[in-house]
Structure 1
Amino acid sequence: MSTVSGQRLADSRKDSEARTYSRVAWRIVPLLFLCYVVSYLDRVNVGFAKLQMLNDLRFSESVYGLGAGIFFLGYFFFEIPSNLIMYRVGARKWIARIMITWGVVSAAMMFVTTPTMFYVMRLLLGVAEAGFFPGMILYLTYWFPAERRGGMTALFMTGIPLSGVIGGPVSGWILQSVSGALGLAGWQWLFVLEGIPSIIVGLLVLALLDDRIADARWLAPEEKAMLQERIDNDEAEKGHASALQAFGSAKVWLLALIYFCLIMGLYGVSFWLPTIIKGLGVKDTTSVGFLYAIPYVLATIAMILVGRSADAYKERRWHIAVPCVLGAAGLIASVTFGTSPVLAVAALSLGTVGILSAIPLFWSCPTAFLGGAAAAGGIALINSVGNLAGFASPYMVGLIKDWTHSTDVGMYVLAGCLMIAAVLVVAGLPARLVNK
């Protein structure tokens, strides 16, 4: 075979592979994305409900902070068992079960009347959702090899900012326009109307999601063979320890600590952003919703661009560390320019962009060296330990706000956590996590 013919054959195979991966991405990523949008919306809509329910139910800021964060205790204790169950029974049934049960619990938040009921319902919501996110990350490893996973993870995780883009204005509108209908407060309608989509999407998952490549009837046999070969080659380079061995890995615990610092920033902003915007002098809840959406619009664009850049350069470490530093700078600037609504929202946008750009690339790190049961257990461990920050962060900011009547000190603490994450990433992770 001539050199020219060989090159043409190689180019043809490369084009065929690109088309197949594009087809796979269009088939599964939009559904995963939709799942994540409604997941994140149900997790943080309590930040908007707070604008009314604290006055209606006479809750303090620290009661809200504890209730917002206690979700993650349920998440922590049930995360690892849930992900191991998904590894055994398959993603389709288990993710559908997760979504339907958390939709029911989220809608039932309308019945809350006391702090104890608030704590219990948030705890149950965490139990219901446990395993969802690490299950999604594990599921992507069944379809995409490491060198393609950064961009796919970023696309999937744009569900976080887009839930803000969609949920902010919608939540603000519900609070203002539906309040009083059928004798229910706006915050009660908020939980009901934003819980129902999770149940519907859970049923879609049951109908449309394929557990693995072999189950995809929409792929030709040669396409399945090519995809499986890429996954097999990727898996051969990973450690295939048991879940228990993954729990004893120093690298896994380092990643858990880094993720803890990232989540401190994420949920400190997510749960308190409506309150911070309202504190800038914006009283109308619909306006709060639209301003809340601005940082998330910018973060959506940044996540996609950073993910593509990381895959193009096959680099992870600096694509995580630099956004962490930018996120910290944005949170500090939001305090510095707190007297100017325009500059404060711009600073909060930079903080949100930095935090959300780092997280998808972070998740391409553990999946680069964990496989099999070790991946199921290790990913769940990292996510559950990291998400303890989801408990600590809003509760800490709530306590600080009760003590100082300001969120400024809380923003400084969150910025410090992001800087710690940046240092740990640069100092602790290997320079090369993806094969050149």
Structure 2
Amino acid sequence: MTTTAVNPGVGDAAFEDATYRKVSWRLVPFLLLCYVVAYLDRVNVGFAKLQMLNDLKFSETIYGLGAGIFFIGYFLFEVPSNVILHKVGARIWIARIMITWGVISAAMMFVTTPTMFYVLRFLLGIAEAGFFPGIILYLTYWYPANRRGRTTTFFMTAIALSGVIGGPLSGWVMQAFDGHNGWSGWQWMFLLEGIPSILVGLVVLAYLDDRIAHAKWLTADEKALLERNIASEDAHKEDPPIRTVMSSPRVWLMSAIYFCFVMGLYGVSFWLPTIIKQTGVKGALDIGLLTAIPYGCAVVGMVLMAYSADRSGERRWHIAIPAVLGALGLVLSVQWHDSTALAMVALTLATIGILTTLPLFWSLPTAFLAGTGAAAGIALINSLGNLAGFLSPYAVGWLKDLTHSTDSGMYLLAACLVAGAALTLSVPARMVGSKS
């Protein structure tokens, strides 16, 4: 631990707040940028669908399987990837992840058959495995629990921001570049949206610091304060062997909760453009602009709920209530599908509710795991939960082919969100440091 002879940070709340503001301004905007380009590459296939299914003669089931198979590769490599990050450091490993997934995402432009579609989506999942849980783990190196909720939320607003930015951008690229150089708009979209991941990955190598002790932009007193707070919190956490983590009932309960929420997330992420199109909106750019509305509102909802949770110290109800509201929004989107305006209201409610649950969920497992146990536990929870990313688009696609409507798929996702809310409230408050 770094020490100094004179330490003005001891007992000085203003100094502590200023130090964490300095850390946040250094880390959070850059990590948010990383996640924006990551998430854009993960879900832009939802926009590509508007053109590529017709170009390549793919069915809805083929699309759903291809969109979801990403998460099989993700699942298989998530835990080892996060453990490697904990061992070798976030800087090198996050850079490796971003550069490889950027290359594979751009290569999606060459898809011509279902097999190529499946293989590249599977490889994309392998490439990205470890990125999100790695960032969640990385934040535990810098922030104690009472500050991590808001920080994680700001980071995860990248999901919503990628929708705000990516929707109009994807729609514009597909419409403006369609036919240039003999390529379809969806091919240009994969190429142009893969390049930023490669460039940002290179910047990671120069910008990120693995640990507090490595940060040259912090003073000795600031490092001492940060390390003292982390050490104090870690003293009350578990750092069990990886084998114990894998068999922990608490970790599996967290995985089940996250699975339910991710079912809702990717139902919206992969199918939002299609649902909007079904209300009567035709142009790719118009659809892209409309998708920005639910995501933009979700940014506000996520931040406000995180402030409320951190201020009150309560976690479980702050997760369960938005999940139920998200379910209600999905149900209403089915009931109001004949009106674009009403459907947008419902989809906005659904998106706010679903996206608000996700960052606050991560305050639960990080409240009782530390060290290598945290690296393995967070990765296991994320990988098992993200299997819903495979099941959700495949199930909705299969139901759409079967019923010629997305209605039954939305009901399924709504039920999953309600189940996630119920499981969240079953977690003992004392286990996750919640005040109620």
TM bucket, shorter chain: over 0.9
**Secondary structure of 1:428's aligned partner:** coil
Moved more, 9-18 or 405-414: 9-18
Structure 1 unmatched runs, 5+? 1-8
Q: Following the alignment from structure 1 to structure 2, what is the Cα–Cα distance between the partners of residues 237 and 80?
A: 24
Deviations 1:49-101 (A, max 9, x none): 00000000000000000000000000000000100100100000000000000
Counterpart position of 2:381? 382
Moved more, 416-425 or 9-18: 9-18
Q: Following the alignment from structure 2 to structure 1, what is the Cα–Cα distance between the partners of residues 222 and 403?
A: 60
Q: Following the alignment from structure 2 to structure 1, what is the Cα–Cα distance between the partners of residues 410 and 216?
A: 50
One-letter identity of the residue aligned with 2:187: Q
Q: How far 1:159 sits from its partner (Å)?
A: 0.2
Counterpart position of 2:198? 199
Deviations 1:266-307 (A, max 9, x none): 001100000000111000110000101100000001111111
Q: Following the alignment from structure 1 to structure 2, what is the Cα–Cα distance between the partners of residues 101 and 429?
A: 40
Q: Kindly tell me: are residues 176 and 386 of structure 1, through their superposed partners in 2, closer, same or farther at Cα, counting changes over 3 Å?
A: same
Q: Kindly tell me: are residues 204 and 134 of structure 1, through their superposed partners in 2, closer, same or farther at Cα, counting changes over 3 Å?
A: same
Q: Following the alignment from structure 2 to structure 1, what is the Cα–Cα distance between the partners of residues 353 and 176?
A: 33
One-letter identity of the residue aligned with 1:21: Y
Moved more, 9-18 or 20-29: 9-18
Counterpart position of 1:281? 280
Q: Kindly tell me: are residues 414 and 317 of structure 1, through their superposed partners in 2, closer, same or farther at Cα, counting changes over 3 Å?
A: same
Deviations 1:402-435 (A, max 9, x none): 0111000000000000000000000134256237
Q: TM-score, normalised by structure 2?
A: 0.97
> How do residues 24-103 of structure 1 correspond to structure 2 at under 5 angstroms?
24-103=23-102
Q: How far 1:243 sits from its partner (Å)?
A: 1.6
One-letter identity of the residue aligned with 2:293: I
Q: How far 1:20 sits from its partner (Å)?
A: 0.3
Q: Following the alignment from structure 2 to structure 1, what is the Cα–Cα distance between the partners of residues 214 and 119?
A: 39
Q: Kindly tell me: are residues 10 and 195 of structure 1, through their superposed partners in 2, closer, same or farther at Cα, counting changes over 3 Å?
A: closer
Q: Following the alignment from structure 2 to structure 1, what is the Cα–Cα distance between the partners of residues 239 and 381?
A: 17
Q: How far 1:12 sits from its partner (Å)?
A: 7.1
Q: How far 1:248 sits from its partner (Å)?
A: 1.1
**Secondary structure of 2:337's aligned partner:** coil
Identical-residue share of aligned pairs (%): 64
Counterpart position of 2:390? 391
Counterpart position of 2:187? 188
**1:23 is aligned to 2:22:** yes
**1:290 is aligned to 2:289:** yes
One-letter identity of the residue aligned with 1:143: W
One-letter identity of the residue aligned with 2:379: A
Q: How far 1:154 sits from its partner (Å)?
A: 0.2
Q: Following the alignment from structure 2 to structure 1, what is the Cα–Cα distance between the partners of residues 343 and 60?
A: 22
Counterpart position of 2:348? 349
Counterpart position of 1:232? 231
One-letter identity of the residue aligned with 1:52: Q
Q: Following the alignment from structure 1 to structure 2, what is the Cα–Cα distance between the partners of residues 227 and 369?
A: 19
**1:168 is aligned to 2:167:** yes
Q: How far 1:11 sits from its partner (Å)?
A: 10
The runs of 4+ residues in structure 1 deviating greater than 3 Å are 9-12
Deviations 1:225-265 (A, max 9, x none): 00000000010010111122111110000000000000000
Q: Following the alignment from structure 1 to structure 2, what is the Cα–Cα distance between the partners of residues 435 and 289?
A: 39
Maintained 8 Å contact 2:319/2:360: yes
**1:248 is aligned to 2:247:** yes
Maintained 8 Å contact 2:315/2:434: no
Deviations 1:321-353 (A, max 9, x none): 000010011001111111111011100110010
Counterpart position of 1:6? none
**1:141 is aligned to 2:140:** yes
One-letter identity of the residue aligned with 1:223: E
One-letter identity of the residue aligned with 1:250: P
Q: How far 1:215 sits from its partner (Å)?
A: 0.3
Maintained 8 Å contact 1:147/1:434: no
Counterpart position of 1:316? 315
Counterpart position of 1:5? none
Counterpart position of 2:128? 129
Maintained 8 Å contact 2:149/2:360: yes
